[in-house]
Structure formats: C-alpha cells, structure tokens
Amino acid sequence: MIHAKGIWKVFGQGENRVEALRGVSLTIHKGEILAVMGPSGCGKTSLLNCLSGIDHISKGTVEIEGQNIHQMKEKEKDRYRAEKMGFVFQLYNLIPVLSAVENVELPLLSQGVRAKTARERAEEVLTRVGLRERCHHRPGEMSGGQAQRVALARAMVNQPGVIWADEPTGALDRETSKMILDLFEHFNRVDETTVVIVTHDPAVAERADRIIYMDSGRIVQERDTRRKVNSPVCMRGSNE
Ligand SMILES: Nc1ncnc2c1ncn2[C@@H]1O[C@H](COP(=O)(O)OP(=O)(O)OP(=O)(O)O)[C@@H](O)[C@H]1O
C-alpha cells in the first residue's frame, strides 16, 4: 500500500514560486490500477515523481509498504526504486545503441545479477510482451508500440511491486495504446503489480480501477470505475 499524507511540492522562490502540489493525501492499494487525470500543469507528473521518490517533497510524508521513502538517504532511495519500482514514460527512454534484450537486462545487471540469469529473465519478460523475435533489434528498428513494449518489459523485469507510468500511450495510436494497456492489465492480474498511470486520455483512464482528477495541485474528484459512481473528494484521495 502507498500512503501519501499532506504532500506539498514547491518549485522556485519569490516571483518564481510554483506550488505544483498543495497538500495532497492519497492511498493507493496493492494491486490497484489508478489513473491520474487533469489539465496540463495541474501537477500530475509532480505527484508521480513525489510518490515514487524521483523528486523531493517540500512537506508531507509518503509511505510505501510502511517505509517512509523521503526519509531514506539518496543511495538507499535509489536502490529501493531500482528494486521495487518500474517506470514507463511517454517517449520510452530506451538506450538507442542497445538491443531490446540489452535494454531490458540492464536494470538487473546494474543490481549485480549474473549475466546469464539477467539474459534469461530479460528474454522471458520480452516473450511475455510478445517480442521474443525482436530481442536483438535496437529501438530505432522498432515501431512506437514495440518500443513501448520493450520499455514495459524493462520496467517489469525486476517484478516490481508498482509501475509508475507517465503518459505511456501519449505517443501511440488507439489500437497500439489498447495493446499496451492490455499488457499493463496482464502484469497487474498475473503479478499483482500496482499500476499508476498519468494520462490525458479518458479511454485510457477508463481501464483503471479508480481515477483521480487533479486541478491546481490538488485532488478535486475521484471515481471508482468498477462501481461507476462519482464520489466526493475525501474518500480515499484528499487534500490537506
Ligand atoms: N522543475 C520545475 N521547475 C519549476 N516549475 C516546475 C517544474 N516542474 C514542474 N513545474 C511546474 O509545476 C506545475 C505542475 O507541473 P506538472 O508537470 O506536475 O503538471 P502536469 O499536470 O503533469 O502537466 P502536463 O499534463 O502538461 O504534463 C506546473 O505549473 C509546472 O510548470
């Protein structure tokens, strides 16, 4: 479970001060698929970066499985992220000179996993995303959808508890987006991975279990898509 309480994220000072998050509280349950929506600049990426420990927070707490990640030392936090989290971004962020399998095995190698084991696990997860035949292709030799499947395989190779995805379908057409979302659902169902997706696309958000809507650094609404009801702000996500 991920539990955030009263998080503020402030950039800059004086005239340049921007309050990207203004006291957000939120609980994300294990095995949940959560979508984060809201207008451009409302704080979606800031929320994802603060919850995952990529960014420092200005105030508040974030606990993941009972551990306060913002109290960890930088190195400890880096290791925690590498071992327990996967990340998927809009523009794939793959290393262009490496093949698909080399990109996917990289997180394991950097954690000291033996080369042979890392290769086997990378091939296994590439098979799960349907790219076994493309293992030795480089990102530049692939379509956008294939590159994003490699990025998803890289995010999943560690079997993380949670995947943070920032506009993972933003650069893809509708059919390809659907395929990527099917894969998120597959990993969520089979591996019980918690998935948090920032998206502008209502069709993507509808695939989540719950949608939170943000505006001006706050959560303004949340909706449980399984029950198809609107709920007022303070049920599970709120602002303080
Ligand atoms: N590094 C930064 N320095 C200063 N301001 C920042 C920085 N990063 C984000 N901001 C500001 O914080 C606010 C929230 O930005 P954020 O990227 O979280 O919004 P978003 O909802 O993800 O937007 P988009 O949908 O356009 O990606 C914006 O006003 C943005 O300009």
At residue 91, the pLDDT reads 86
- Tell me the per-residue pLDDT of 22-67, one tens digit each, with 9 for 90 and over: 999 999 999 999 999 999 999 999 999 999 999 999 999 999 999 9
Task: Give yes or no for residue 11 CB within 6 A of ligand 1.
Answer: yes
Write the residue with the smallest CA distance to atom 6 of ligand 1.
11
Q: What is the pLDDT of residue 122?
A: 97
* Cα 20 to averaged position of ligand 1 atoms, centre (Å): 6
Res. 239 pLDDT band, cuts 50 70 90: low
Average pLDDT score, the chain: 92
pLDDT band for position 234 (cuts 50, 70, 90): very low
Architecture (CATH level 2) of domain 31-49+73-232: 3-Layer(aba) Sandwich (3.40)
For the chain, domain boundaries: 31-49+73-232
pTM for this predicted structure: 0.91
- The residue whose CA has the least distance to atom 20 of ligand 1 is 41
pLDDT above 60 for 138: yes
What's the pLDDT score for residue 235? 43
Q: For 143-191, how does the pLDDT look when each residue is reduced to its tens digit (9 = 90+)? A: 999 999 999 999 999 999 999 999 999 989 999 999 999 999 999 999 9
Report yes or no for ipTM above 0.85.
yes
Over 223-239, what HEC string results? EECCCCEEECCCCCEEE
Q: Is the CB of 60 under 6 A from ligand 1?
A: no
